[in-house]
Amino acid sequence: MTALRDELLDLIADEALVDRAKLTPQATLTDVGLDSVGVVSVVFAVEERYGIEIAEDALRDVTDLEGFLASIEDVIATGKAA
Protein backbone atom coordinates (compact mmCIF):
# COMPACT_ATOMS: atom_id res chain seq x y z
CA MET A 1 0.00 0.00 0.00
CA THR A 2 1.30 3.48 -0.84
CA ALA A 3 1.83 6.02 1.90
CA LEU A 4 -0.81 8.23 0.28
CA ARG A 5 -3.41 5.47 0.31
CA ASP A 6 -2.58 4.74 3.93
CA GLU A 7 -3.16 8.41 4.82
CA LEU A 8 -6.43 8.48 2.90
CA LEU A 9 -7.74 5.40 4.70
CA ASP A 10 -6.91 6.99 8.07
CA LEU A 11 -8.68 10.12 7.01
CA ILE A 12 -11.79 8.26 5.77
CA ALA A 13 -11.96 6.27 9.03
CA ASP A 14 -11.84 9.53 11.01
CA GLU A 15 -14.40 11.37 8.89
CA ALA A 16 -16.87 8.49 8.42
CA LEU A 17 -16.38 7.31 12.04
CA VAL A 18 -15.75 3.74 10.95
CA ASP A 19 -13.31 1.05 12.00
CA ARG A 20 -10.19 1.27 9.81
CA ALA A 21 -10.22 -2.54 9.38
CA LYS A 22 -13.59 -2.34 7.56
CA LEU A 23 -12.07 -0.23 4.78
CA THR A 24 -11.30 -2.91 2.19
CA PRO A 25 -11.04 -1.90 -1.51
CA GLN A 26 -14.00 -4.10 -2.49
CA ALA A 27 -16.35 -2.53 0.06
CA THR A 28 -19.07 -0.25 -1.27
CA LEU A 29 -19.40 3.23 0.20
CA THR A 30 -22.65 2.06 1.83
CA ASP A 31 -20.81 -0.93 3.40
CA VAL A 32 -18.35 1.38 5.13
CA GLY A 33 -21.09 3.75 6.27
CA LEU A 34 -20.25 6.63 3.92
CA ASP A 35 -23.53 8.44 3.23
CA SER A 36 -23.66 11.63 1.15
CA VAL A 37 -22.64 13.79 4.12
CA GLY A 38 -19.79 11.36 4.83
CA VAL A 39 -18.53 11.57 1.23
CA VAL A 40 -18.55 15.38 1.31
CA SER A 41 -16.84 15.33 4.72
CA VAL A 42 -14.03 13.18 3.30
CA VAL A 43 -13.73 15.46 0.26
CA PHE A 44 -13.36 18.49 2.57
CA ALA A 45 -10.75 16.75 4.71
CA VAL A 46 -8.76 15.78 1.59
CA GLU A 47 -8.95 19.35 0.28
CA GLU A 48 -7.71 20.74 3.61
CA ARG A 49 -4.92 18.19 3.96
CA TYR A 50 -3.55 18.42 0.41
CA GLY A 51 -4.43 22.02 -0.44
CA ILE A 52 -6.46 21.07 -3.53
CA GLU A 53 -10.01 21.57 -4.78
CA ILE A 54 -12.05 18.55 -5.83
CA ALA A 55 -14.74 19.32 -8.43
CA GLU A 56 -18.26 18.36 -7.39
CA ASP A 57 -18.68 15.93 -10.29
CA ALA A 58 -15.32 14.18 -9.79
CA LEU A 59 -16.85 11.53 -7.54
CA ARG A 60 -20.31 11.35 -9.11
CA ASP A 61 -20.16 7.79 -10.48
CA VAL A 62 -18.11 6.24 -7.70
CA THR A 63 -19.78 3.45 -5.72
CA ASP A 64 -16.99 1.42 -4.15
CA LEU A 65 -14.06 2.37 -1.97
CA GLU A 66 -11.46 1.42 -4.61
CA GLY A 67 -13.03 3.83 -7.12
CA PHE A 68 -13.33 6.52 -4.45
CA LEU A 69 -9.67 6.23 -3.49
CA ALA A 70 -8.49 6.08 -7.10
CA SER A 71 -10.46 9.22 -8.01
CA ILE A 72 -9.06 11.15 -5.03
CA GLU A 73 -5.51 9.97 -5.77
CA ASP A 74 -5.99 11.10 -9.35
CA VAL A 75 -7.04 14.61 -8.29
CA ILE A 76 -4.17 14.84 -5.81
CA ALA A 77 -1.66 13.77 -8.49
CA THR A 78 -3.09 16.28 -10.98
CA GLY A 79 -3.22 19.02 -8.33
CA LYS A 80 0.41 18.48 -7.41
CA ALA A 81 1.51 18.38 -11.04
CA ALA A 82 -0.29 21.62 -11.84
Partner 1 sequence: MVRRRIVVTGLGAVSGLGADVKANFAAALAGEGAIRRRSFDPGPEGPEAYEMPAALVEGDLVAPLETALGRRIGASLDPFALFALASAQEALAQAGLIGHAALERRTALVLGHGFAGIHTLEASYLRYFGRKSARMHPLTVPKVMVSAPASAVAMSFGIRGPVFAVSSACASSGHAIAQGAGFIATGACDLAVVGGSEAIATPGCLKAWDGLQAMSPTACRPFSAGRDGMAIGEGGAVLVLEELEHARARGAAILAECAGVGLSSDAFHWTQPSLEGAVSAMTAALAAADLGPKARLLVSTHGTGTLLNDRNEAAALHAVLGDAVVDTPIIATKSAHGHLIGATAALQAVLALEALRSGKAPPILNHLGRDPECDLDLVLGEPRDIFAEAALVNAFAFGGLNASLAFRRWE
Residues 31 and 29: their CA atoms lie apart, in Å, by: 5
Cα torsion 39, 62, 60, 47: sign: positive
Residue selected from 41, 59, 72, 76 as contacting partner 1 according to rule CB under 8 A: 41
9 binds partner 1 (CB under 8 A): no
16 binds partner 1 (CB under 8 A): yes
Binding to partner 1 (CB under 8 A) within 49-68 occurs at 53
Residue selected from 4, 13, 27, 58 as contacting partner 1 according to rule CB under 8 A: 13
Residue selected from 1, 2, 3, 17 as contacting partner 1 according to rule CB under 8 A: 17
CB atoms inside a 10 Å sphere around CB 68: 23
